[in-house]
Structure 1
Amino acid sequence: MPLKAVLFDMDGVIVDTEPLHRKAYFKTFDDLGIQVPEGLYTTFTGYSTKKVCETLIEKFGLSQTYEEIAGIKREYFKDFFYNDEHFDLIPGVKNLIEHYYENGITLILASSATMTTINMVFEKFGLEKYFSGKISGADLKESKPHPEVFILAAEMAGESAENCMVIEDSTNGILASHRAGIFCAAYRSPHSKDQDYTLADTVVSDYPELELEKISKYF
């Protein structure tokens, strides 16, 4: 089947907001007076903010609501987003997005991030015109590794699963794509630690490897 649509995860795929989220979360943990071990923090990869906050409330018996915790974290995140000089697009991703767009591929953003964060990224880096649709964590009943996000993204693109490809970098995202029955290209980011690429259909470390002529053998 020909490739008609590419469903992009955002975090770790288009931008690496992970270091910003990390700084914002650990500042928030300090404010809440809790110690979150590295092992627990790693399990949050791919979770929506709501799910992270609910996990913290449950694990640490916090009295704050999820909205209060999310609010603290959001303020820290915003500060880092606009002021951290190391924050940029992942190398090669803008060229890849333009390449698909120029070749008539429908692009959908399928992310667990909030729509606020998605819009901040799209505005900062001028991505709006390339994408036909955006799905955020708030639009979903289930978090990855549940396939809902990619099933919705394929519907939004107006394509069947076999005409789509997902680009993901996390264990949860790859599993979600696999469960949705959609071809998954895993981007092996230097930033994503301890992620499992076993279920990905192809694994790349460099975005030019996902240009249409290079992946034509799969479609």
Structure 2
Amino acid sequence: MEFKPVTHVLFDMDGLILNTEKLYTIAFQNVVSRFGKEYTFELKLKLMGTQAHEAAQTLIEALNLPMTVEEFITETKEQFQILFPDTDLMPGAKRLIEHFHKHKIPIGLATSSSEESYHLKVDKHHASLFSLFPHKTFGSSDPDVKRGKPHPDIFLVAASKFPDRPKPEQCLVFEDAINGVKAARAAGMQVVMVPDPQMDKSLTTEATLVISSLEEFQPQLFGLPPFDGN
């Protein structure tokens, strides 16, 4: 596939920068276990990248849980308070973000998380790294993001926060989720996907480029400054 040069970069967060997807799995399973249900990987793929209320609604309907969206969110928040503060960075994330910052490539964060959830995950260990993002968009709490991924809203809103207002084709998105890839493509942007290793490769075909880790990414493919020594 031919890659087109870009000038701006947008990052998803969960499962891409932060290794939180396994924590979401633990939290959701802890809640559904009370009803004798299983939070399967297939269901997880449908939820990844969606806003909190959308994810809760989908899961409740899929597993026929006797609870409201608000009840599910309240219970999972209690789990998150315990699990999220000590989350780890994904391989290659720190190096890539710092590389773009060093070379003055405009970067933004576009996460479906709420601002409250973001602070739970970031403040204890990763505040300095995330301070390199001058613009952050929180899909579950930003009123401008009307619809969650796979709709394009979050990436269009995130791109509009850059002072020079780049066109969609000038933006490169980094994602791990199918819904995120669909959202980026719907926004008219190229997207690099770092999928969960369990994901069937047939589900990754909409991405511009698929890599197994951010450590593999070569910025020069998209007209961005290469890493030192490349």
TM range (shorter): 0.7 to 0.9
Of stretches 7-16 and 33-42 in structure 1, the one that deviates more from structure 2 is 33-42
- Asked if the contact 2:50–2:150 (Cα under 8 Å) also holds between the matched residues in 1, the reply is no
Aligned length: 212
Provide closer, same or farther for how the CA distance between residues 172 and 56 of structure 1 changes in structure 2, counting only shifts above 3 A. closer
Cα distance, 1:30 vs structure 2: 2.3
1:19-60 C-alpha deviation (Å, 9 max, x unpaired): 1011000111124x2514523343222222211222244445
Alignment of 1:67-106 (within 5 A): 67-82=70-85, 87-106=87-106
Cα distance, 1:164 vs structure 2: 0.9
Of stretches 97-106 and 206-215 in structure 1, the one that deviates more from structure 2 is 206-215
Misfit runs of 4+, over 6 Å: none
Provide closer, same or farther for how the CA distance between residues 60 and 98 of structure 1 changes in structure 2, counting only shifts above 3 A. closer
Provide closer, same or farther for how the CA distance between residues 78 and 151 of structure 1 changes in structure 2, counting only shifts above 3 A. same
- Asked if the contact 2:25–2:39 (Cα under 8 Å) also holds between the matched residues in 1, the reply is no
Cα distance, 1:160 vs structure 2: 1.4
- Asked if the contact 1:135–1:149 (Cα under 8 Å) also holds between the matched residues in 2, the reply is yes
Say yes or no: does 1:46 pair with 2:49: yes
Match of 1:46, SS? coil
Cα distance, 1:155 vs structure 2: 0.8
Cα distance, 1:65 vs structure 2: 2.9
Alignment of 1:110-125 (within 5 A): 110-123=110-123, 124-125=125-126
Cα distance, 1:82 vs structure 2: 3.3
- Asked if the contact 2:85–2:122 (Cα under 8 Å) also holds between the matched residues in 1, the reply is no
Say yes or no: does 1:175 pair with 2:182: yes
Distance 2:117 2:200 in 1: 25
Question: Residue 129 of structure 2 aligns with which residue?
Answer: 127
Question: Residue 154 of structure 2 aligns with which residue?
Answer: 149
Alignment of 1:205-216 (within 5 A): 205-216=212-223
Cα distance, 1:189 vs structure 2: 4.1
Question: Residue 160 of structure 1 aligns with which residue?
Answer: 167
Cα distance, 1:194 vs structure 2: 3.4
- Asked if the contact 2:173–2:191 (Cα under 8 Å) also holds between the matched residues in 1, the reply is yes
Match of 2:180, SS? helix
TM-score (normalizing by structure 2): 0.82
- Asked if the contact 2:137–2:158 (Cα under 8 Å) also holds between the matched residues in 1, the reply is yes
Q: What amino acid maps onto 2:153 in structure 1?
A: E
Provide closer, same or farther for how the CA distance between residues 213 and 41 of structure 1 changes in structure 2, counting only shifts above 3 A. closer
Question: Residue 136 of structure 1 aligns with which residue?
Answer: 138
Match of 2:191 among 180, 184, 193: 184
Q: Give % identity.
A: 33
Provide closer, same or farther for how the CA distance between residues 215 and 59 of structure 1 changes in structure 2, counting only shifts above 3 A. closer
The structure that is helix-richer by fraction is: 1
Distance 1:57 1:197 in 2: 26
1:122-178 C-alpha deviation (Å, 9 max, x unpaired): 322132321011111222221211111111111112221122100011111111111
Distance 2:200 2:81 in 1: 27
Distance 1:164 1:95 in 2: 20
Question: Residue 28 of structure 1 aligns with which residue?
Answer: 31
Match of 1:43, SS? helix
Match of 1:172, SS? helix
> Which runs of 5 or more residues in structure 1 are unaligned?
none
Cα distance, 1:2 vs structure 2: 5.2
Of stretches 53-62 and 199-208 in structure 1, the one that deviates more from structure 2 is 53-62
